Amino acid sequence: MAGRPPAYGPVRRAFGKVYDLLMRKEKVGEDALGNVYYRWYEGSGEHRTERREVQWVSEHMYYDPKEVPAEWRMWLRRLRQDPPTPEELVQSAAKAATLSARVAALEEAERLRRLRQQTVGTPDQHAGATPDMARFLQQMGGSSQPQPQQQQQQAPAQPQGQGQAAKAGGEPFKPEAWRPGS
Protein backbone atom coordinates (compact mmCIF):
# COMPACT_ATOMS: atom_id res chain seq x y z
CA MET A 1 0.00 0.00 0.00
CA ALA A 2 1.16 3.47 -0.69
CA GLY A 3 2.75 5.13 2.30
CA ARG A 4 3.12 1.97 4.40
CA PRO A 5 5.41 2.35 7.41
CA PRO A 6 8.94 1.02 6.92
CA ALA A 7 8.30 -1.45 9.77
CA TYR A 8 6.79 -3.81 7.17
CA GLY A 9 9.06 -5.98 5.08
CA PRO A 10 9.32 -5.80 1.29
CA VAL A 11 7.04 -8.82 0.75
CA ARG A 12 4.28 -7.35 2.89
CA ARG A 13 4.55 -3.96 1.14
CA ALA A 14 4.38 -5.66 -2.28
CA PHE A 15 1.31 -7.63 -1.20
CA GLY A 16 -0.27 -4.39 0.04
CA LYS A 17 0.29 -2.70 -3.33
CA VAL A 18 -1.22 -5.64 -5.20
CA TYR A 19 -4.21 -5.59 -2.84
CA ASP A 20 -4.69 -1.87 -3.46
CA LEU A 21 -4.64 -2.46 -7.23
CA LEU A 22 -7.15 -5.31 -6.97
CA MET A 23 -9.47 -3.26 -4.77
CA ARG A 24 -9.07 -0.31 -7.17
CA LYS A 25 -8.32 2.12 -4.39
CA GLU A 26 -8.07 5.66 -5.61
CA LYS A 27 -6.07 8.34 -3.86
CA VAL A 28 -8.46 11.16 -2.98
CA GLY A 29 -6.13 13.59 -1.28
CA GLU A 30 -3.44 14.33 1.25
CA ASP A 31 -3.32 16.60 4.29
CA ALA A 32 -0.58 18.91 5.52
CA LEU A 33 0.88 16.20 7.78
CA GLY A 34 1.33 13.78 4.87
CA ASN A 35 -1.55 11.40 5.65
CA VAL A 36 -3.05 9.98 2.46
CA TYR A 37 -6.81 9.42 2.03
CA TYR A 38 -8.26 6.65 -0.15
CA ARG A 39 -11.66 5.61 -1.47
CA TRP A 40 -12.76 2.32 -3.06
CA TYR A 41 -15.97 0.45 -3.72
CA GLU A 42 -17.01 -2.99 -2.53
CA GLY A 43 -19.80 -5.14 -3.91
CA SER A 44 -21.72 -4.70 -7.13
CA GLY A 45 -25.08 -3.46 -8.28
CA GLU A 46 -27.33 -2.04 -5.60
CA HIS A 47 -25.16 -3.55 -2.85
CA ARG A 48 -22.15 -1.48 -3.87
CA THR A 49 -20.76 0.48 -0.92
CA GLU A 50 -18.06 3.09 -0.75
CA ARG A 51 -15.22 2.59 1.69
CA ARG A 52 -12.92 5.35 2.92
CA GLU A 53 -9.66 5.16 4.84
CA VAL A 54 -6.57 7.08 5.85
CA GLN A 55 -3.02 5.82 5.55
CA TRP A 56 -0.98 7.39 8.35
CA VAL A 57 2.41 8.82 7.55
CA SER A 58 3.75 7.89 10.99
CA GLU A 59 4.92 4.51 12.24
CA HIS A 60 2.39 1.76 12.78
CA MET A 61 0.29 2.46 15.92
CA TYR A 62 2.10 5.72 16.66
CA TYR A 63 -0.50 8.08 15.23
CA ASP A 64 -2.84 10.55 16.88
CA PRO A 65 -6.38 10.62 15.41
CA LYS A 66 -6.81 14.18 16.73
CA GLU A 67 -4.26 15.35 14.18
CA VAL A 68 -6.64 14.63 11.30
CA PRO A 69 -8.05 17.95 10.05
CA ALA A 70 -11.76 18.45 10.68
CA GLU A 71 -12.62 18.52 6.97
CA TRP A 72 -10.99 15.13 6.38
CA ARG A 73 -12.57 13.70 9.53
CA MET A 74 -15.99 14.79 8.24
CA TRP A 75 -15.25 13.11 4.90
CA LEU A 76 -14.13 9.87 6.56
CA ARG A 77 -17.30 9.76 8.68
CA ARG A 78 -19.49 10.55 5.65
CA LEU A 79 -20.67 13.88 7.02
CA ARG A 80 -19.69 15.42 3.70
CA GLN A 81 -19.93 13.86 0.27
CA ASP A 82 -16.89 15.33 -1.49
CA PRO A 83 -13.35 15.38 -0.11
CA PRO A 84 -12.05 18.80 0.96
CA THR A 85 -10.18 20.91 -1.56
CA PRO A 86 -6.76 22.40 -0.85
CA GLU A 87 -8.37 25.87 -0.82
CA GLU A 88 -10.76 24.77 1.93
CA LEU A 89 -7.89 23.39 3.98
CA VAL A 90 -5.90 26.64 3.64
CA GLN A 91 -8.98 28.70 4.53
CA SER A 92 -9.75 26.61 7.63
CA ALA A 93 -6.10 26.81 8.76
CA ALA A 94 -6.30 30.62 8.47
CA LYS A 95 -9.54 30.63 10.50
CA ALA A 96 -7.94 28.44 13.16
CA ALA A 97 -4.95 30.80 13.38
CA THR A 98 -7.27 33.82 13.71
CA LEU A 99 -9.30 32.07 16.39
CA SER A 100 -6.22 31.09 18.39
CA ALA A 101 -4.97 34.71 18.21
CA ARG A 102 -8.34 35.95 19.52
CA VAL A 103 -8.30 33.39 22.32
CA ALA A 104 -4.76 34.44 23.29
CA ALA A 105 -5.84 38.11 23.37
CA LEU A 106 -8.87 37.30 25.55
CA GLU A 107 -6.77 35.22 27.92
CA GLU A 108 -4.26 38.06 28.24
CA ALA A 109 -7.06 40.56 28.91
CA GLU A 110 -8.52 38.25 31.57
CA ARG A 111 -5.08 37.79 33.16
CA LEU A 112 -4.63 41.58 33.32
CA ARG A 113 -8.14 42.04 34.75
CA ARG A 114 -7.45 39.52 37.51
CA LEU A 115 -4.09 41.12 38.26
CA ARG A 116 -5.71 44.56 38.46
CA GLN A 117 -8.45 43.13 40.67
CA GLN A 118 -5.91 41.64 43.08
CA THR A 119 -3.95 44.89 43.17
CA VAL A 120 -6.98 47.08 43.97
CA GLY A 121 -8.28 44.57 46.49
CA THR A 122 -11.84 44.22 45.25
CA PRO A 123 -13.41 40.83 45.84
CA ASP A 124 -13.90 38.45 42.96
CA GLN A 125 -17.66 38.32 42.52
CA HIS A 126 -17.45 35.18 40.40
CA ALA A 127 -15.97 33.27 43.32
CA GLY A 128 -19.06 33.96 45.44
CA ALA A 129 -17.77 36.90 47.50
CA THR A 130 -20.02 39.91 48.04
CA PRO A 131 -18.93 43.52 47.50
CA ASP A 132 -17.85 45.44 50.60
CA MET A 133 -19.79 48.75 50.56
CA ALA A 134 -17.88 50.30 53.48
CA ARG A 135 -14.55 49.74 51.75
CA PHE A 136 -15.94 51.14 48.51
CA LEU A 137 -17.11 54.32 50.23
CA GLN A 138 -13.75 54.71 51.96
CA GLN A 139 -11.96 54.42 48.61
CA MET A 140 -14.31 56.99 47.07
CA GLY A 141 -13.55 59.48 49.86
CA GLY A 142 -16.94 59.32 51.55
CA SER A 143 -17.90 57.93 54.92
CA SER A 144 -19.31 54.49 55.52
CA GLN A 145 -22.48 55.94 57.16
CA PRO A 146 -25.32 57.03 54.81
CA GLN A 147 -26.41 60.65 55.10
CA PRO A 148 -29.79 61.37 56.80
CA GLN A 149 -31.04 63.32 53.75
CA GLN A 150 -30.46 60.31 51.52
CA GLN A 151 -32.51 58.12 53.86
CA GLN A 152 -35.47 60.53 53.74
CA GLN A 153 -35.44 60.79 49.95
CA GLN A 154 -35.65 57.04 49.43
CA ALA A 155 -39.22 55.82 49.08
CA PRO A 156 -40.22 52.42 50.45
CA ALA A 157 -39.85 49.79 47.76
CA GLN A 158 -42.91 47.91 46.59
CA PRO A 159 -42.81 44.51 44.99
CA GLN A 160 -43.13 44.80 41.23
CA GLY A 161 -46.40 42.93 40.77
CA GLN A 162 -48.27 44.60 43.67
CA GLY A 163 -47.54 48.18 42.56
CA GLN A 164 -48.88 47.58 39.07
CA ALA A 165 -52.00 45.79 40.29
CA ALA A 166 -52.81 48.54 42.80
CA LYS A 167 -52.57 51.19 40.08
CA ALA A 168 -54.92 49.18 37.87
CA GLY A 169 -57.52 49.16 40.65
CA GLY A 170 -57.62 45.37 41.04
CA GLU A 171 -56.25 42.97 43.57
CA PRO A 172 -52.58 42.13 43.68
CA PHE A 173 -51.41 39.38 41.34
CA LYS A 174 -51.50 35.87 42.81
CA PRO A 175 -49.71 33.33 40.59
CA GLU A 176 -51.41 30.28 42.12
CA ALA A 177 -54.89 31.72 41.41
CA TRP A 178 -54.26 32.42 37.72
CA ARG A 179 -55.75 30.10 35.09
CA PRO A 180 -55.30 30.37 31.31
CA GLY A 181 -58.14 32.22 29.67
CA SER A 182 -59.31 33.97 32.85
Domain presence at residue 44:
yes
On whether both 78 and 93 belong to a single domain, the answer is: no
Query: Is position 45 within any domain?
Result: yes
Flag whether 173 is in a domain: no
Edge-to-edge strands, sheet with 36-42: 26-30, 36-42, 49-55
The answer on 68 and 17 residing in a single domain is: yes
Which range, of 22-36, 66-80, 133-147, averages the lowest pLDDT?
Answer: 133-147
Residue 109 corresponds to which amino acid? Answer: A
Residue 108: what residue type? Answer: E
- The verdict on 25 and 67 lying in the same domain is yes
pTM for this predicted structure = 0.52
87 has pLDDT over 90: yes
- Shared domain for 32 and 60, answered yes or no, is yes
Same domain membership, residue 66 and residue 111: no
Task: Name the residue range of residue 100's domain.
Answer: 89-121
**Contact, 38 vs 52, CB < 8 A?**
yes
Query: For 54-71, how does the pLDDT look when each residue is reduced to its tens digit (9 = 90+)?
Result: 888 876 667 777 888 889
Number of domains in the chain: 2
